[in-house]
Structure 1
Amino acid sequence: MNAADVDGLLELYADEVVFEDPVGSGRRTGRDALRAHFEEFIRAGITEIPGEPVAGQDGAHVLVPVTATMDYLPKGPGFAERGWLAAPDAPENARITWDYVLMMRTGSGGLIQELQMFWGRSDIGIAS
């Protein structure tokens, strides 16, 4: 994400990838939908700092804590409408920050087949 290399990112995912961000917002399927999702965040200038991954005992799942920041525009107003954060006084200069956990599941070919992002209202805010 930090390199804004959507094609490189998509090489990590199965064609039929299923993803949900945030969990509870509805599941989407396929690389085309994932491409659109990634491109939205790249347009917003996202920067992600991953934490230490935790591998599942099953050899297929991993959890990764992430701290991210991005421009308030264009996605921030939708977050504010949902009550997830307060709208800033100067939205054109504001940045959103949030902490979340990625859950990824790989398939037998090593590609990511499922991606879920867990975060809630207490995890998101306006960067100071």
Structure 2
Amino acid sequence: MPDEATRKNLALEYARRMNDRDVDKVLELFSDDVRFEDPVGTPALEGKEDLRRRIAWSMKCDVHEEPGRPVTSMDGRWVVVPTTVTVYIPTKLSFRIIGVMEVGEDGLSHHVQAFWGVTDTQVGEGPQPTGVAQFMAVTEALTRMGDLAREEAEPV
């Protein structure tokens, strides 16, 4: 099993490669049968081709990831890292997530879970609405992002 430093580095390397905007380099960090849940509670992506589309779309949304300090597990399989993920297209959205990554004996990520919710999301800059107003603002921004993803997926 990969040691703690290797697992921690894998999580940090993912963020670095996302910020470098190189889809193929990001995909090198994942097993062919990767399961990717972002956010947990929505349908999981299965395999590298599904993940390729998601990563390419994220990069088109001008994604930037700022990882915090990774923490590992004693069983040699997991690394957890708090991360602020910001996209700027179609509007600025910042997500405070907890990323959980299962690392296989091959040193690749086999399962990723991103935990975040509406109250972990900020739309734009400055003071944020609360309660129903925040829910509506986040939902509208996420819907616009989803529309962008569907437009990208439709054949021309």
Q: TM-score, normalised by structure 2?
A: 0.67
Supply the distance in 1 between the matched residues of 2:124 and 2:69 (Cα, whole angstroms): 23
Q: How much has 1:46 moved relative to structure 2?
A: 0.6
Supply the distance in 1 between the matched residues of 2:102 and 2:86 (Cα, whole angstroms): 25
Work out which structure has the larger RCO, using CA pairs closer than 8 Å and 6 or more positions apart in sequence: 1
SS of structure 2 residue aligned to 1:37: helix
Is 1:52 matched with 2:75? no
Structure with higher strand content: 1
Is 1:120 matched with 2:137? no
Over the matched positions of the two proteins, sequence identity in percent amounts to 37
In structure 2, stretches of 5+ residues that fail to align are 1-17, 126-156
Supply the distance in 1 between the matched residues of 2:112 and 2:34 (Cα, whole angstroms): 8
Q: 1:95 aligns with which of 92, 99, 123?
A: 92
- Extract structure 1 runs of 4+ deviating beyond 3 A: none
Q: How much has 1:99 moved relative to structure 2?
A: 0.4
Q: CA RMSD in A?
A: 0.9
Q: TM-score, normalised by structure 1?
A: 0.81
Supply the distance in 1 between the matched residues of 2:24 and 2:82 (Cα, whole angstroms): 23
What is the total number of aligned residue pairs between the two structures?
108
- For 1:1-128, list aligned pairs within 5 A: 1-73=18-90, 94-128=91-125
In structure 1, stretches of 5+ residues that fail to align are 74-93
Letter in 1 for 2:81: V
Q: How much has 1:125 moved relative to structure 2?
A: 1.6
Task: Please identify the structure whose Cα radius of gyration is greater.
Answer: 2
Q: How much has 1:5 moved relative to structure 2?
A: 0.9
Deviations 1:27-52 (A, max 9, x none): 22100001111111100001110000
Supply the distance in 2 between the matched residues of 1:69 and 1:19 (Cα, whole angstroms): 18
Structure with higher helix content: 2
